[in-house]
Each structure stands twice: as C-alpha cells, then as structure tokens.
Amino acid sequence: MILGIETSCDETAAAILRNGKVISNIVLSQVDIHQFYGGVVPELASRHHLENLNRVVESALSQAEIDFTALTGIAVTRGPGLVGSLLAGLTAAKVFSYIFKLPLAGINHLEGHILSHRLQYPDFPSPFIALIISGGHCELVRVEGPGCYRVLGRTLDDAIGEAFDKVGKLLGLGYPGGPEIEKEAARGHPHAIPFPRPFLEKGSLDFSFSGLKTAVALYVKKKAPLGQEEIADICASFQQAVFETLIEKMKRACQETGITRIVFGGGVASNRTLRKLFKEEACKNGWNVCFPPPVFCVDNAAMIAYAGESRLTQKEYSGEDLVRETIVEPNLRL
Ligand code: KG4
Ligand code: ZN
C-alpha cells in the first residue's frame, strides 16, 4: 500500500495505490487562486500546498479506509517543478517517512506522466513512444520499460500547455487556456487561418511553439476587435497547427525507431480533438495508441505512486541516510 504525494506545480495531490490499483486519488486544484493572475504564481502555490497538504493526505487515507500504519512506502515528486511547491511535498513526505518508518522514493514527475496510462491499461506492452504534453513539458520519449527512457525530442521554448494558456489569455478566455480553447474551437474552422506549423529542420524531433504563439498574437492585433466567430476560428486553427506538428513529429519518431505503440500523458492529452486526430492517424499508419483517462492525464499523485511502487518493491528506495539526502530538483531531466 503506497502513498503518493504530488505538489510540483499548482495541484496538491495524494493517492493510495495497492498493487498498481488506485484505491483513492485526491487532487485539490489551486486554479481558483491563480486564475486571477492568468498564470501560476509560485509563491502562492507553495503557500497553498503547505496549508492543504495534510488535509489532502488525510482524505486519501480516509477514502481508502486506512491509516498510516497500513502503508508500506511513500512516493513523492522530487522534480522537475517549482522549487517551493516541490519542497512542500518532499518535506511532508520526509516527515511521514521518519515518523512512520516508511521507505521513501523520490520520483521524476515526467516518469509519472509516462507511466500514467498503466493505471487504466496495465498490460499495454513496451517498448512504446510516450508523448508528454502538459503545462510545463513537451517531450517525446522512447520507453523500453519502466525506468528505461531515452528522450528523442523536447520543446526548445514554450511547453505546449503554456502555449495554450498564453493564447487563451491573448483571446481573453479563462484560465487555464487549454480547456477554454478546446471549447471555442468546437465552433470554429480548423483551416480558417494558416498559422505556421513549427516543424524545425528536417529530421529534428524537437519542438518550438513560441513562433506559433507570436503568429497568433500578431493576427489578433491585426484583426482586433474580434467577434465570437473569429475567436472560434483562431482557436480551431491554432489547435490544428499544434496537433499537426505533434502528428508530424510522431510520424518521424515512429519511422526512426520502428516502434508503433504510442502513449500519451499530461493535461493537453485530455483534448478530444487531439485524441480524434491521433486515432485517425493510428488507423492510417497502423499505430496502437493509448490515452489515459483525463483524470490521470492532468497532474495527480496516483501516477507518482505507480512510478514509486516498483522502485519500493525492488527496494530501490531512499534509506534513512538517503531520506536526508533526497532533495528537490526543479530542473530534473529524465
Ligand atoms: O499535466 P498538467 O495538469 O500540469 C502540468 O504538468 O503542467 O497540464 C496542465 C496544462 C495546462 O496548460 C492546460 O491548459 C492544459 O494542460 N490542458 C489542455 C486541456 N486540458 C488541460 N490543453 C488543451 N486541451 C485541453 N482539453
Ligand atoms: Zn505534469
């Protein structure tokens, strides 16, 4: 029975996992707090984690109908993320670990996203290519199995969710921008505006979204004031440009590696248009695509517990000295 704790950005989350099965999964979003500022304010995020973490952990335990004595280990995100937010979660996890004499595993948040599909589809076979598309990341990763990762490409500037959030702000939509853009896009034409597809040089599997974001900003400036129909067309065309870029990169990655199994992770992976486009491509190219349910796409502690479970059962955890040495790493890479 593993307790997972996740506080790398603006979700305070705790979950209980037993043999890969989610027993409870509590996510307290801070979106109401950051909405006012149009983005995550790191100082506020860490303060709210501190205020709420005990309550969230207690809820996870009580929903699972257990207390600390039933636990066999703790898995906590140690990076990448906001330093203050990470510290709040890691410090709490260390305290629980000392008090209840539980082994502690410090987990890479990206590994959580890579493995999150297994919470629903535990038998999806390796090797596969993982596309992590969230507010903080855009990474294409070759996965041979748990713990065996090779990054094929990553964003050189904005993360994909960040681009959605910035375009949402530009259009005066709510925060976070991703779900709002998806809603508006449903009424618009995906080919109304020819926004650039940032493929970078031939063969590259890296991404770049800042040029596309600037193209949207310039278009908005030129056409202002915008009517409802124009906003819908901009959202649909922006989405289309982003998703076509992802599909093109995925084609290259599949060709290069010979792998045709694909899993998705991160908040943007809950977008229904993205899922539809990738499923269509899957039919054309013989891909086997695996989407976690939206609740496991966004930041959650169940995926952290999952990544920790195998480490803890293989006794690959932080012993007492290592607990002291387990530190947050805001720029941790895979
Ligand atoms: O994975 P996540 O909860 O947090 C990070 O690890 O960053 O992802 C949050 C991001 C936000 O940028 C949000 O705008 C985006 O995911 N997002 C979406 C959708 N739902 C959330 N983007 C596009 N379409 C969506 N439906
Ligand atoms: Zn995340």
Residues 101 and 195 in one domain: no
Of residues 53 and 321, more confidence is placed in: 53
Give the mean pLDDT of 290-314: 94
Beta-bridged to residue 151, according to DSSP, are: 141
Per mean pLDDT, which range of 7-16, 26-35, 315-324 is the poorest? 315-324
Ligand 1 and 81: CB distance under 6 A: no
Residue 202's pLDDT is 77
Q: Which amino acid is at 30?
A: Q
CATH number, domain of 173, equals 3.30.420.40
Tokens of 256: 């290069």
- pLDDT tens digits along 98-129: 999 999 999 999 999 999 999 999 999 999 99
Residues 176 and 305 in one domain: no
Distance 22 CA to ligand 2 centre (A): 18
Residues 47 and 171 in one domain: no
Residues 132 and 230 in one domain: yes
Distance 287 CA to ligand 2 centre (A): 25
Residues 32 and 177 in one domain: no
* 334 falls within a domain: no
Residue 321's pLDDT is 55
Instruction: Say if residue 316's pLDDT is above 70.
Output: no
Q: What is the pTM of this model?
A: 0.95
Of residues 310 and 14, more confidence is placed in: 14
**DSSP of 217-230:** HHHHHHHPSPPHHH
How many domains, the chain? 2
Nearest CA to ligand 1 atom 21: 267
Confidence at 94, pLDDT banded by 50, 70, 90: very high
Residues 54 and 17 in one domain: yes
Q: Domain of 107?
A: 2-114+297-323
**Residues with Cβ within 8 Å of residue 90, at least 6 apart in sequence:** 76, 77, 78, 106, 326, 327, 328
d(CA 99, CA 230) in angstroms, rounded, equals: 58
Residues 264 and 131 in one domain: yes
CA of 162, closest atom in ligand 1: 12
- pLDDT tens digits along 253-278: 999 999 999 999 999 999 999 999 99
Residues 136 and 260 in one domain: yes
Residues 175 and 84 in one domain: no
* 240 falls within a domain: yes
